[in-house]
């Protein structure tokens, strides 16, 4: 019998290795330093962050881009609670994450000691799985379970609390099990047949693609269906990139937030809406099916969350790619969408708005459409673009079209400020030879700007654009519409160029439309992090709220 022993912390690291974890994002502390120490001997690369929230954002981006759970690691008390926003965002947006934190020793649980907190209860409402390890011998079992639940579709977040003595206790050595892949089947044949019959009978069906549709293998199945059977397509923001160049004639744009896009008109006039991988958190059904008159087919990993405006006539529940492929095999041939005058008019209207950006000039800065148009010329389809929340998010989500899944990233479930730079860092670490683009408003940038130090330290090839207007503009335009005045939305920010240089990054500035091309060209040619201040002209932002037809507003 071997007398070899292992600590709980070493079991944590061995379990992470079993899952081929590339990076751990976190900040050390006394209650969890045993794990940081164990990683030194044989573990994933640790990426030290400057706020635990950003560590969770980076883990979420890793999960979204790889399909495997990203890892964030923090200490007890405020270290754990600082993860909450990032973990909640990941869980509601389908990003697999395993969050690990230290905790006070079990022997201190009855004491009111510093950094004591019931983190298991804290994380229970915002994760798929929340647990605390009570015995060192069960460390690997619990962490394995956290991975499996986080990665099981629809993907999301798991949380594991690791008390300090659980990590430092030594127990007889036990080998860590290697996880096996889990394969899921498609939906019941009767549901497949029912869905296909409904689609075949519809004269004006519309696909509404949601966040799970952007998984690459699901996107491939959707593309094959559309090549065989052309149907008009509308995306949520999180489904960016599912429609490829050769299927662009099916695409009527993205919908979300305010019901005033060509895609909204398509949904309003459809006689059947087929949702694929959609969650109501992405775009409330009451906004696109207010009167609950349009029949819906729900194709998802789980059954639908029923409400008055989302009560499907058919539910196809199972592996998305298998289900979509099975439905496609049952569909009749349809006429080309080129003969549908309404769809062509909606496509024309969308393209017309986008093309307006070519000649947009302003004495007061750069018009968003001009920036979006010119940026599109500088990035390829396989460039990862991370966009923060704010007015920048609306302009980009509506008018920056992408053609590969999970290459244009938005926070759509929680609409969380500050995600763009941490996401870009994670993307760059996964693909160090690629140039990564990220962008935020100046308000969102200041939520996570300290991670520029992380980007510099790891020589991340990031170009981050900051649209500067010294306000929380997305809030402001809604205030002005509701109340006729603004309140608590203006601020003074730093000189972005000097801020970049103070961290050792490159700092550039775009002041007018004429600056866009030369500055973008220079930014793309530089190595390491580049921060570009964009003097944005938001004078047209009120038009983001314009109504094309009556609807309910937030």
Q: Say what the pTM is.
A: 0.95
DSSP helix/strand/coil, 380: coil
CATH topology of domain 360-545: Rossmann fold (3.40.50)
| 3-class SS string, 392-425 | HHHHHHHHCCCCCCCCEECCCCCCCCCCHHHHHH
Where along the chain do the CATH 3.40.50.970 domains lie?
Answer: 5-172, 360-545
H/E stretch holding 521: helix 513-525
Share of the chain above pLDDT 70, in %: 97
pLDDT for the residue 551 = 35
CATH code of the domain occupying 189-340: 3.40.50.1220
Q: List every span in the chain annotated with CATH 3.40.50.1220.
A: 189-340
How far apart (Å, rounded) are the C-alpha atoms in residues 354 and 370? 9
Q: CA–CA separation, 158 vs 52, rounded Å?
A: 16
Phi, psi for 460 (deg, rounded to 5): -70, 130
The 10 Å Cβ neighbour count of residue 457 is: 15
Instruction: Classify domain 5-172 at the CATH class level.
Output: alpha beta
pLDDT at 211: 96
Q: Which two tokens stand for residue 414?
A: 């929680």
Mark the ranges of the chain whose per-residue pLDDT is less than 70: 1-2, 110-111, 114-115, 547-554
Q: Tell me: the pLDDT tens digits for 330-339? A: 999 998 888 8
> In the prediction, which pLDDT does 43 show?
87
Task: Give dist(CA 371, CA 334) in Å, integer.
Answer: 38
User: CA geometry: angle at 462 spanning 459 and 464, to 5°?
Assistant: 135
CB-CB contact of 239 with 275 (8 Å): no
pLDDT recorded at residue 549: 39
Q: Are 305 and 281 spatial neighbours (Cβ–Cβ below 8 Å)?
A: no
């Amino acid at each position: 019998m071997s007398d070899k022993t292992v600590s709980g912390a070493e079991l944590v690291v061995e379990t992470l290795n079993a899952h081929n974890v590339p990076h751990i994002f976190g900040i050390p502390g006394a209650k969890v330093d045993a794990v940081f120490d164990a990683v030194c001997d044989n573990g994933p690369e640790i990426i030290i962050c400057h706020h635990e929230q950003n560590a969770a954002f980076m883990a979420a981006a890793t999960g979204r881009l790889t399909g495997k759970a990203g890892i964030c690691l923090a200490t007890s008390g405020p270290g754990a609670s600082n993860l909450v926003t990032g973990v909640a965002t990941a869980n509601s947006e389908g990003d697999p994450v395993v969050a690990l934190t230290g905790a006070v020793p079990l022997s201190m649980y009855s004491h009111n000691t510093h950094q004591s907190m019931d983190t298991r209860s804290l994380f229970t409402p915002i994760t798929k799985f929340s647990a605390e390890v009570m015995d060192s011998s069960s460390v690997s079992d619990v962490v394995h379970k956290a991975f499996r639940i986080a990665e099981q579709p629809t993907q999301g977040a798991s949380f594991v609390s690791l008390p300090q003595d659980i990590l430092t206790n030594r127990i007889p050595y036990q080998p860590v099990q290697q996880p096996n892949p889990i394969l899921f089947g498609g939906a019941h044949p009767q549901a497949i047949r029912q869905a296909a019959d409904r689609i075949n009978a519809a004269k004006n069906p519309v696909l509404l693609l949601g966040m799970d549709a952007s998984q690459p293998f699901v996107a491939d199945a959707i593309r094959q269906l559309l090549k065989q059977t052309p149907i008009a397509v509308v995306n949520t923001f999180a489904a960016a990139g599912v429609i490829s160049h050769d299927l662009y004639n099916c695409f009527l744009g993205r919908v979300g937030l305010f019901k005033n896009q060509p895609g909204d008109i398509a949904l309003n006039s459809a006689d059947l809406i087929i949702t694929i991988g959609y969650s109501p958190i992405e775009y409330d059904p009451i906004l696109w099916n207010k009167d609950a008159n349009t029949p819906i087919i729900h194709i998802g990993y789980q059954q639908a969350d029923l409400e008055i405006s989302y009560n499907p006539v058919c539910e196809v529940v199972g592996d998305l790619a298998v289900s979509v492929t099975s439905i496609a095999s049952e569909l009749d041939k349809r006429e080309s969408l080129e003969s549908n005058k309404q769809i062509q008019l909606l496509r024309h209207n969308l393209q017309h708005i986008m093309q307006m950006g070519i000649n947009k000039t302003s004495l007061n800065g750069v018009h968003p459409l001009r920036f979006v148009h010119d940026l599109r010329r500088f990035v390829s389809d396989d460039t990862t673009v991370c966009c923060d929340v704010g007015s920048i998010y609306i302009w980009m989500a509506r008018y920056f079209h992408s053609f590969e899944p999970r290459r244009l990233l938005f926070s759509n479930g929680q609409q969380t400020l500050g995600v763009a730079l941490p996401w870009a860092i994670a993307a760059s670490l996964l693909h160090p030879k690629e140039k990564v683009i990220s962008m935020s408003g100046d308000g969102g940038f200041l939520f996570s700007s300290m991670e520029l130090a992380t980007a510099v330290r790891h020589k991340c090839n990031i170009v981050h654009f900051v649209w500067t207007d010294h306000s929380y503009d997305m809030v402001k335009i809604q205030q002005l519409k509701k109340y006729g005045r603004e309140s608590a939305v203006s601020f003074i920010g730093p000189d972005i160029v000097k801020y970049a240089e103070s961290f050792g990054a490159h700092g550039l500035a775009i002041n007018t439309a004429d600056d866009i091309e030369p500055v973008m060209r220079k930014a793309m040619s530089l190595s390491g992090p580049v921060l570009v201040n964009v003097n944005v002209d938001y004078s047209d932002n009120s038009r983001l709220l314009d109504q094309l037809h009556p609807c309910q507003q937030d």
